[in-house]
Chains A and B, each alone.
Chain A
Amino acid sequence: MTQELIAPPAGVLTGTAEAVSVAPAQATPVERLAEQVERACAGLPDADPARVLAAVRANGGVDAAGLRDLAIGEAAALVGVEPAYSRVAARLLGAKIADEAAAEGVRSFAGSVAVAHREGLLSDAPAAFVAAHADALNALVDEAADDRFEYFGLRTVYDRYLLRHPRTRRVVERPQYFLMRVAVGLSDTVEDVRELYALLSTLSYLPSSPTLFNSAARRPQLSSCFLLDSPRDELESIYERYAQVARLSKYAGGIGVSWSRIRSRGSLIRGTNGHSNGIVPWLRTLDSSVAAVNQGGRRKGAACVYLEPWHADVEEFLELRDNTGEEARRTHNLNLANWIPDEFMRRVEADARWSLFDPKETPELVDLWGEEFDAAYRRAEAEGRYVRQVPARRLFGRMMRTLAETGNGWMTFKDAANRACNQTAEPGNVVHLSNLCTEILEVTSDGETAVCNLGSVNLGAHVSGDDLDWERLRSTVRTAVRFLDRTIDRGFYPTAEAEGANRKWRPVGLGVMGLADVFFKLRLPFDSAEARALSTRIAEEIALAAYDASADLAAELGALPNYAATRTARGELHVDHFPDAAITRPDAWDALRAKVAEHGLRNSLLIAIAPTATIASIAGCYECVEPQVSNLFKRETLSGEFLQINNYLVADLKRLGLWDAATRDAIKRANGSLQGLADLPADLRELYRTAWELPQKALIDLAAARTPFIDQSQSLNLFMETPTIGKLSSMYAYAWRSGLKTTYYLRSRPATRIAQTTITQATGAHTTGARTAPDAEAVACSLENPETCEACQ
């Protein structure tokens, strides 16, 4: 996962296989392939062409294209032995893509846009722009930049992002044409294109997937997230909400939707004098609807339902993802999140009782937060309006169980989400939920669907020597904000509620990826004080540059229409709500305040740290602010399985002369952990701990320290090998006390696993009688990791 650009060997990346072939015309397909593989290995001394070709030669009866596919697959499978094969596979795939595009007549960027426009894939304006500036734009294309892609990244681009001919399904873009097309879709001038493409082609910054999919397209839906308020407590509103969800899902948006206003089971229905079945049947319908909308075949629809824990159906809600029990009460496609008021957490801590209400009886609770919520909740309780009461800890324990069993039921905190939000200055403007990935916090109402357009800075690409290149980071952020702001005006909105809200509030979500790459490059253990300080400084610098850019945009284009309703308009910046914030540049903040006071902001919200699952793959870096999950793992995606190995570790091991078959097998046997490899230097084992081996307290502390600079939120996954209710409740209570606004998945690992087939088997004769511990426990049980060791407790 490194970004260094190895000087590409001449000919590899500049043309189709045929164009650069020097093999005689009568060469067999195998000979021609051998030549291609040789070239793909050029400049990579650790990659052996013969090794790739061995598997290919053994199989007859395949045509030239099929042979190359086999070679690509073979090279990809060798990544675990030698990471350089990732580059080999990527180069071969690049040649395949070039051939495929050539078969559609695509030989230049302008040609690619012309074909895509002719086939109805791109809209008229960008096509006309490209036609008018064909030479200048063609000259901007840097084909050699393809060599920055790792195989998995390029494969992802090829499988899912490159535009395809509607009938032949062949690609009509090469990777660099695709990035150029994305830039063109957000540009007015060639200079704009140059500026944005320079970030994209160096993988320094990538917009979110919807923008990559749809920039310059006929229906340019560029937004990642939509947050829908709970339907009103009536049939028509519920069905209307399904329709909105379906329309938003169709164009590759992730959905968050609250269900807290809908009456609970047993509630009287006046119109028919019957009783309600509660929220579960409605969520079943939502589940089916989400599964049916397939986002144009590019990825599956996905939604997260938010519920407040005072809703009387909360226990059934927490069972929706169980894989046992009555199927009629299960929703396997929906994600679930708890939208938790502080009052609940206080009751949990105090071991007090908790009252569950039917929203029909307490409609006021949904729209209140903080002290007003507390007062209204206690009043309703005192008036005996609850359906029933339960021990708060029992419900909290149930939430923890759901997290452990399904990874779902994310813990998000209503009061923290509202308290510092720039959009909640005026009464009635309430954040009712977060989004599919728990990083967006924006107000919603019945007529207002919150939207967010996202992009992420690749932090790993901004390391220079033994520090970050802060000036380049600021420059990247400024460009990113300018183009994110444009997505608001150029986007196509599937619903009027989304369009209205987005134009009014103009929120964007600039995030990061590759924080772990930074730490590896600078050799900082994830839980070190230095890492925390650097991570916080990064967040501060990004916030400063982003706000500054937004204030400049306000000066140039005007402040956001609803500026008067923001906290900023009242002189409060997000950071002001956090007196303990670790400010390192007070002067810059003062300057920023002055500028904002004069011009306002173009965007009500600017920062959100999204999970970046797919774009981090494209960029070849670690996801968002996450530690690595393993030194060796595979990604399963719709396009196949891909081995991922920690390139930093391999480089270190090679330097020490330790990268051999024995070490590789040992790492594989330990599920990508180094902790049992006693022969490795201790500092290496410490640096390359995985998410499972780091204290989760460190992840929460890093997140809490950057919170003052994140005006929306962050998708914070937490990891626990073998979760128990006690450990989870301690962890989530700590997260709440630390002031986190949201958390995301709880990641755990399978209790048993497939027997490994490709590691030499130990004989069984000597293990008789010994209790054979599953490897998961063997990993967990190490001195470096006493906290997760159950065997010793």
Chain B
Amino acid sequence: MLLDPGMDLTLRPMRYPDFYERYRAAIRNTWTVEEVDLASDLADLARLTPEELHLVNRLVAFFATGDSIVANNLVLNLYKHVNAPEARLYLSRQLFEEAVHVQFYLTLLDTYLPDHDERVRAFAAIEHIPSIRAKAEFCFKWIDSINRLDELRTAADRRAFLLNLICFAACIEGLFFYGAFAYVYWLRSRGLLNGLASGTNWVFRDESMHMEFAFSVVDTVRAEEPELFDAAMTRQVTEMIDEAVEAELAFARDLCGDGLPGMSADDMRRYLEYVADQRLARLGLPVRYGTENPFAFMELQDVQELSNFFERRVSAYQIGVEGAVAFDEAF
């Protein structure tokens, strides 16, 4: 079974071809930080109101460390226990993507904050900004929850692992990051910070896949060991998601203050509840809030893009094309 302790090296026959396909799909969507053009953002930053600037600075400070935390958990807690080489291929690829994200946000920060001391403060945000600190503590709590486990021998071990996995997929990538992306697209909907938004498009695409991979691991374990998913587990997941919504909401209150044009802590609360319901539904659990998505601009993120080269770069091309020259194939 997928969570059995060990170091499985057998790729043929392959037990979980879906994981391998996800790995290959991820490779086809390779992007690099150098492709993101942040030039127009600097002019936008100069135009922002103090309230908007506060929001952007907080957001960047969160991004500065967010992906590093995810990468650490991946190495320390996930890779060890997901015992299928094809799944580990995907996790290796995910690790690379997290590294690209870290590099992207580092580049962003270096660009947005020319002052050396400000950069240092941004990376230290996790220490001294309470709303970011609270989110980090939530993450660390769940990292620590299984950090001592070397092998998943008992049902209790496996449940602890699943909670960690679900936490990082549903709460951290699926809620904290989704919340952060919503601010980016809100700014974008007002014609601000296109560079940040275009990089975020790619980060968002990657994070969506990470989340979906984690959920398919959950699905697989559920199929193999349905008894792990008991009422206590349901309660714990629900509580965890509640806690994440609260932490993200505190962050929203810090970012939005008394409200900005088209964005307020209350809007964000409704959005987070809406997203949390989506995560619960994906996990096969009853939805909790029944809230509708308040952000019409997020509709745009669900629809495919069409750029032309006078605008921003087209971000839709493929890596890893196969086949040989032929003249009789249908097209």
Contacts and interface: CB of A to CB of B under 8 A. Distances in A.
A668 B190 contact: no
B219 A764 contact: yes
B298 A757 contact: yes
Contacts of B212: 755, 772
Interface residues of A, number: 98
Interface string A745-764: 00111111111111111111
Contacts of A629: 306
> Most A CB atoms within 10 A — which of B40, B215, B296?
B296
B121 to A, nearest CB: 28
Contact of A406 (B31, B188, B267, B317): B317
Contact of B305 (A61, A634, A722): A634
Nearest to B21: A771
B194 to A, nearest CB: 7
A397 interface: yes
> Most B CB atoms within 10 A — which of A74, A696, A756?
A756
A445 interface: no
Contacts of B222: 765, 768
A326 to B, nearest CB: 12
B212 to A, nearest CB: 6
A636 interface: yes
Contacts of A300: 310-311
Interface stretch (B157-165, B238-246, B322-330): B322-330
Interface residues of B, number: 86
Contact of B327 (A729, A750, A754): A729
A349 interface: yes
A77 B284 contact: no
B261 A70 contact: yes
Contacts of B188: 640-641
A634 B258 contact: no
Contacts of A696: 331
Contacts of A24: none
B309 A630 contact: no
Nearest to A252: B310
A726 B331 CA distance: 10
Contact of A727 (B278, B310, B313, B329): B329
A757 B190 CA distance: 20
Interface in A315-332: 323-324, 327, 332
Contact of B321 (A404, A730, A766): A404
Interface in B262-316: 262-264, 266-267, 275, 277-278, 281-284, 293-294, 296-316
A66 B258 CA distance: 16
B318 A611 contact: no
Given A724-B322, A750-B205, A761-B281, A767 B303 contact: no
Nearest to A62: B261
B324 A725 contact: yes
Contact of A397 (B282, B299, B307, B324): B324
B322 A725 contact: yes
A404 B191 CA distance: 31
A396 B311 contact: no
> Most A CB atoms within 10 A — which of B18, B293, B314?
B314
Given A58-B267, A73-B190, A672 B304 contact: yes
A634 B310 contact: no
Given A696-B331, A730-B329, A764-B215, A751 B25 contact: yes
A353 B35 CA distance: 36
A635 B26 contact: no
A750 B190 CA distance: 26
Contacts of A397: 324-325
Given A59-B264, A725-B321, A774-B25, 6 more contacts: A58-B264, A77-B297, A397-B325, A672-B304, A733-B327, A758-B302
Interface of B: 17-18, 21, 25-26, 28-32, 34-35, 40, 178, 188-191, 194, 198, 201, 204-205, 208-209, 211-212, 215-216, 218-220, 222-223, 258-259, 261-264, 266-267, 275, 277-278, 281-284, 293-294, 296-319, 321-331
21 contacts: A55-B294, A58-B266, A300-B310, A302-B309, A324-B32, A397-B324, A407-B317, A638-B194, A640-B189, A643-B300, A668-B303, A696-B331, A697-B331, A750-B316, A752-B26, A754-B208, A763-B281, A764-B283, A771-B17, A771-B18, A772-B18
The 7 closest A-B CB pairs, nearest first, are A765-B284, A77-B296, A751-B28, A755-B208, A724-B323, A725-B323, A726-B326
